[in-house]
Amino acid sequence: MSDDSQTGTFLLDDEEIPFTRGQTVIQAARAAGKYIPHLCWHPDFKAHGSCKLCTIKANGRLGAACTLEAQDGMAVENRTPELDDKRRTLLQLLFVEGNHFCPSCEKSGNCVLQATAYDLGMMTPHFDMFYPDRPVDASHPDMLLDFNRCILCELCVQASRDVDGKNVFALSGRGIQSHLIVNAESRRLADTDFSATDRAASICPVGVILKKRVGFAIPIGERTYDAAPISQVDIAKENT
């Protein structure tokens, strides 16, 4: 791609993918109908590359597809046995670090974490469960927070700050002590101006932020990822 060119192509698993200047690898791949597994990335928000599930190999070097800018002539490996094996390990760690009990979760069938695990063939959590002691906040009249399922994707933080203009959520702590908090002195959702119509109320990819009084309105077996794998659903969303 020359300096004055606004377009180019790169190879994704030996298939030519077009891109425009400034697009990341995951943006260009998704626009071309190619799925790169991801959790913390969302097309409506700025990427920060925290979950590393979208790690690819670009010209032999590992990088996050959500933050790596596409370059002309780049050779990208995505769905290789080596990379998918690393992704399964990351998923296993997420499952054991939280309390993810899919059969009893309202988000089952609509959960990005669960659907990605199915897509990547994760059969067991492999590691010992942490069983962390995390709170459930039912103080809000319309919403429930179950921090047991948080994967620290920060999407609710971004949505509340950048779309809703409320800064209801934040991450606190470092490393293994990192956790999601409510930005109120009491740490209760009821003591904020959070609303069920906020963008942050519907952005959670797992089962942390849930609406009350609508549990299991859609039966398990008839939900988004029950009908089709996430690799198909994600691309279908791009084309609608």
pLDDT at 240 over 80: no
Question: Taking all residues of the chain, what is their mean pLDDT, rounded to a whole number?
Answer: 95
Average pLDDT over residues 161-188: 96
pLDDT at 198 over 70: yes
pLDDT at 63 over 80: yes
Measured distance CA(13)–CA(91) in Å, rounded = 22
Measured distance CA(52)–CA(157) in Å, rounded = 18
Largest separation between any pair of C-alpha atoms in the chain = 57
Question: What pLDDT score was predicted for residue 128?
Answer: 96
At residue 179, the 3 state secondary structure works out as strand
Q: Which fold has domain 7-79?
A: Ubiquitin-like (UB roll) (3.10.20)
Question: What pLDDT score was predicted for residue 44?
Answer: 96
Fold agreement (7-79, 107-238): no
Confidence of residue 77 (pLDDT cuts 50, 70, 90): very high
pLDDT tens-place string over residues 87-144:
999 999 999 999 999 999 999 999 999 999 999 999 999 999 999 999 999 999 999 9
Taking CA atoms, 183 is separated from 83, 103, 145, 147, 210, in Å, by 37, 31, 13, 14, 18
Domain limits of the chain? 7-79, 107-238
Could you tell me the two tokens for 108? Answer: 């089952």
* Nearest CA-CA partner of 207 in 137, 142, 123, 151: 151
**Buried b / exposed e along 72-97 (16+ C-beta atoms within 10 A):** eebebbbbeeebbeebbebbbebbbb
* Nearest CA-CA partner of 55 in 69, 43, 38, 42: 38
Q: Which CATH class is domain 107-238?
A: alpha beta
Look at 16-20, 94-98, 217-221 and tell me which has the smallest mean pLDDT. 217-221
DSSP 105-124: -TTTTT-HHHHHHHHTT---
Pairing assessment for the beta strands 7-12 and 75-77 based on DSSP bridges: parallel
At residue 83, the 3 state secondary structure works out as helix
Containing 158, the helix (H) or strand (E) segment is: helix 155-158
pLDDT at 39 over 70: yes
* Nearest CA-CA partner of 128 in 103, 97, 162: 97
In angstroms, the first-to-last Cα distance of the chain is 30
Question: What pLDDT score was predicted for residue 237?
Answer: 82
Average pLDDT over residues 71-84: 98
Question: What pLDDT score was predicted for residue 2?
Answer: 47
Question: What pLDDT score was predicted for residue 75?
Answer: 98
The model carries a pTM of: 0.94
pLDDT at 1 over 60: no
Question: What pLDDT score was predicted for residue 72?
Answer: 97
Average pLDDT over residues 164-180: 94
